[in-house]
Amino acid sequence: MRSGFLIDCLQYANWSEKIFCQLREGGVDAIHVTIAYHENFRETVLNFEQWNRWFEQYPDLIMKGLWASDIERARETGRTAVFFGFQNPSPIEDDIGLVEIVHTLGARFMQLTYNNQSLLATGCYESEDTGLTRMGKQVVKEMNRVGLVVDMSHSADRSTIEAAEFSERPIAITHANPHDWSPALRNKRDKVIRAVTEHGGMLGFSVYPHHLKDKSACTLTSFCEMIARTADTYGVEHLGIGTDLCQDQPDSIVEWMRVGRWTKQIDYGEGSASAPGFPDMPDWFKDNRDFGNIEAGLRATGMNETEIAGIMGGNWHRFFAENFTPMGASHG
């Protein structure tokens, strides 16, 4: 067993007993899973219900995660703690009162946008970024109060910087990479990463091929050297892993992610018109059993064991402990 925690701060797999077993084979202590892209509140409740059934069906493999202390409990009992998040604010609809409700149900992360303009902020695919909206500022305050982390993974530059500066608690970019390494539209520029990390926030590195240099052909060496450079620039304590693993998902799910119900046309997003489905994963990361490759790759860059342990999960564990509880409260 590795000495530190292993935490992946973003997955959207097609969940099954096979994947739950792979989580255990890979020694994954905790994962943050997406349970809403475009769902409204009621539809999101149904997704919570589905997870409750899985917790009942596979109690020896997975357990619900609410607090950082649940990661220790999962590790001690040989299970993976599952934390929930939304990639869009659609579950709160236009009702700020639902922020506390979704936190009570178990949500711990919420993106203010998913690619497009939302009621709260601007997504990274819009041509004009107007920053946080009036409602956005009020919702961020409420998220701070209850312990729901502001996630800006799919948000535009100005909106992300404003969120980092306006939020009273650190925010996160759970799954993205530096834009100067791979200039994907959704990867983050220096000024954005700097704003997030200087305010105590976290960046989770993604292995989703559209976010990688050379896409599916990205090498482990290139990926890990990028992490090492990012650590030198912004501080290793602000970095973790957020793979964006979409294992076993049919290509129709890509359409739901990108299109939802906001358009009648196909939006190819980060893919190309000739390949609208999921790209092939790099050969060094196919599923949850491959985290050891990243760990070994980081070691090969010359990073020390403490730094590697932080990136592989220790930094997320600390962030969870500090940011999931209501303001002024503590929990185990």
User: Tell me, what's the pLDDT at 270?
Assistant: 57
Calculate mean pLDDT across residues 297-311. Answer: 98
Asked whether the whole model's pTM tops 0.75, one would answer yes
210 — phi, psi (to 5°)?
-65, -15
When pLDDT is cut at 50, 70 and 90, the band that residue 250 belongs to is confident
The pLDDT tens digits of the residues spanning 127-181 come to: 999 999 999 999 999 999 999 999 999 999 999 999 999 999 999 999 999 999 9
pLDDT average, residue stretch 240-257 = 89
How much is the mean pLDDT over the chain? 95
**Range in 89-93, 218-222, 261-265 with the lowest mean pLDDT:** 261-265
Q: Tell me which residue of 113, 77, 96, 97 sits closest to 260, measured CA to CA.
A: 113
- For 32, phi then psi, to 5°, come to -100, 120
pLDDT at 274: 44
- β partners of residue 36: 86
Token digits of residue 32: 């943050």
Residue 269 has pLDDT above 70, yes or no: no
Residue 275: is its pLDDT beyond 80? no
Cα-based angle 214, 219, 221 (whole degrees, multiple of 5): 130
Report pLDDT for 320.
Answer: 98
Domain assignments of the chain as residue spans, ordered by start: 7-323
In whole angstroms, give the CA distance from residue 115 to residue 207. 19
The answer to whether 78 touches 58, Cβ cutoff 8 Å, is: no
Contact residues for 154 (Cβ-Cβ < 8 A; gap 6+) = 87, 111, 113, 114, 115, 123, 124, 186
Q: Tens digits of per-residue pLDDT, 38-97?
A: 999 999 999 999 999 999 999 999 999 999 999 999 999 999 999 999 999 999 999 999
Q: 273 falls in which pLDDT band (50, 70, 90)?
A: very low
CA within 13 Å, CB half, 207? 32
Looking at domain 7-323, which of 3.20.20.140, 3.40.50.720, 3.40.630.30, 3.30.200.20 is its CATH number?
Answer: 3.20.20.140
Q: Vertex 44, ends 39 and 50: CA angle to 5°? A: 130
User: What is the 8-class DSSP label of residue 112?
Assistant: S
d(CA 96, CA 21): 38
